[in-house]
Chains A and B, each alone.
Chain A
């Protein structure tokens, strides 16, 4: 393991240490956000650090007074983190319109968590058509204004700089995925996915520098024969279960490409830089093909995922989602059917942050791998 990778891996056990350290060093503000549709560039250009909150494995103590048990554990554990003071380093939060749960969580959070800044970005649900794109631009512009008023000025030149930094990060992460498609054995899936997830937890320029180091090292590396592992494609919302991923590798599988919002969706598509920055950000969001919360009638999500699974040489697929997640649950049967028609075996796993049992999942992953090997 190279130095840069080792340094990043060290941070995995305490994901918010980076943000805390950054605040201490710079005295800047940290802004929590949930969804990768949040336009981090705008927050970053205001001089703040966007920090992604994705829940964590814990038994909740305080959120149960606000959220029913049939709410996804991402929302329940995130709120619990806020209410117990574990997010005391953040100065504000941004909610983007995605699912019904997030929409209500925003209100509950605003009424109970009490951070200085609360930003709602009510992006359209339609991501196609002139009216929707016009509305999206207006909403992003209004968000930029609110950030300027409450956090720090967001002028054009700063925004363009941030966009470049973020685009560079996207380029590097795409490169990482490309290298893994060629030779997945150079770095296990849990580490590769942490390279993406960590990007949303630390200052982008630092992350870029570390990523450059990692990629440099990986380019030189090769894993003789380690492509013996079964290549898998995975889909879901947030992937934050490192033990699960390690287990997949242990039993002989490897996730070569994915449709996680802390994975490929995070860095998919770049912001065009030859247009007005807000226009550019809007275009990128609409270009990203695959969010189940958004309506993209001209694109067939299952088809796109199948194509990518094919390019990755995946022989099986894993749906990994949180229980009570409506958007992903609705898409599952249709994507599963498309996989079946192509003869790609798949596995559907549902977890909750407060009761993860890697052991139970192990048997099911093993069974999937056996099916694939038997094919």
Chain B
């Protein structure tokens, strides 16, 4: 970090703990490879609580994809998959992951080999095809948790279908691990998960404060534990720490960027390889990205009294599994809650469920609130389709237009 960058950001103290947490997690996972501790690759929206309750180590290729992106290693990995015949137009997480699986490439020397796979299509149809390929490549069994898309209302039969699959998943895991599924243990894990998710939400809403104690670029980094380790005690402890730090910032009048003049909302997955530059670009223009639609995806409600049913419900209702109308409501809500001046949308070539519909969303937002929307064309990890100069120009013009 240069001296100038340091001035643009106040460093979050808890970052060191978070890094340690994630490093320990990956070291633990890597050393488990080849032992009798089962490893399962799971999609980011997958019901990880089942795995934790069965002492299975969850591995998130998407989190790894973000890491590869941030360390600018995604392109070389994607190229491996492209040489295998996978189209350049497919999700770059999938391409990068397949490339890394085959070559053990990436910042941590690849992910530990899975014993089985758990794909949940509440985020996209891509994960199901991608995991099918992994199942073939590693020759391991796969479980598909199929969460019917919600166009307007969630139907009873869809809820029942997902609940049934939770039961099937339990049998699948019992078979794979040779262990018995204990409901009390599951309830415990679910409770920890609820607690962590709740704390994470509390962290996120501290950004309602003016000036905001953190930006969504911080949220993108600090979301790693809620994605990879929810359901464990450590994560609860970690988010308590982070929340306290944010509250303390508010108390002491510390803001994330030195001079918050504009408050913006971010839509879609971060542009991982460009995070720092973008963060600086906005900060140097006195714009704070106070909230986003991405990190809130993990802010779901789970009821303690009926963990299984409410879990099935929560996992079906996440942001990418709902229709544009419901997305509009949620976006308008975010804009209002955080008193935002505008919206920045990352039109992400990799992610069709997230990006198709953005033009309509943008139009609706401006129509209903009068607030401007900037659409940036990029890809979350494939930097070959990104133009830094063009983005810079457009961001600056956008902020200027905010007056």
Contact = CB atoms under 8 A, between A and B. Distances in A.
B19 interface: no
A105 interface: yes
Given A131-B161, A327-B125, A126 B144 contact: yes
A334 B149 CA distance: 27
Contact of B164 (A66, A100, A131, A142): A131
**Candidate in A68, A132, A331, A348 with the most chain B CB atoms within 10 angstroms:** A68
Interface in B76-95: 84-87, 89-91, 94
A98 B128 CA distance: 12
Interface stretch (B10-18, B150-158, B287-295): B150-158
A68 B356 contact: yes
A240 interface: no
A323 B84 CA distance: 17
Contact of B353 (A104, A323, A333, A334): A104
B133 interface: yes
Given A107-B325, A111-B325, A332 B87 contact: yes
Contact of A104 (B87, B142, B168, B352): B352
A104 B89 CA distance: 18
B125 A132 contact: no
Q: Classify the secondary structure of A's interface with B.
A: helix
A104 B125 CA distance: 12
A179 interface: no
Interface string A106-142: 1110011000000010101110011110110011001
B110 to A, nearest CB: 20
Contacts of A83: none
A302 B341 CA distance: 52
B7 interface: no
Given A135-B158, A333-B86, A105 B356 contact: yes
Contacts of A67: 356, 359
A101 B161 CA distance: 23
Interface string B353-390: 10111111000000000000000010000000000000
Nearest to A106: B151
B25 interface: no
**Candidate in A103, A111, A126 with the most chain B CB atoms within 10 angstroms:** A103
Given A132-B161, A326-B90, A329-B89, A122 B146 contact: no
A326 B130 CA distance: 10
Given A295-B128, A329-B87, A129 B356 contact: no
Given A68-B359, A71-B356, A124-B146, A331 B129 contact: yes
Contacts of A68: 347, 349, 355-356, 358-359, 377
B353 A122 contact: no
Interface of B: 84-87, 89-91, 94, 121, 124-126, 128-130, 132-133, 136, 142, 144, 146, 148-149, 151-152, 155, 157-158, 160-161, 164-165, 168, 323-325, 347, 349, 352-353, 355-360, 377
23 contacts: A66-B359, A70-B89, A71-B352, A97-B148, A100-B353, A107-B324, A107-B325, A122-B155, A124-B161, A125-B121, A125-B128, A126-B146, A130-B164, A131-B165, A132-B146, A132-B161, A135-B157, A138-B157, A326-B125, A326-B129, A326-B352, A329-B89, A330-B86
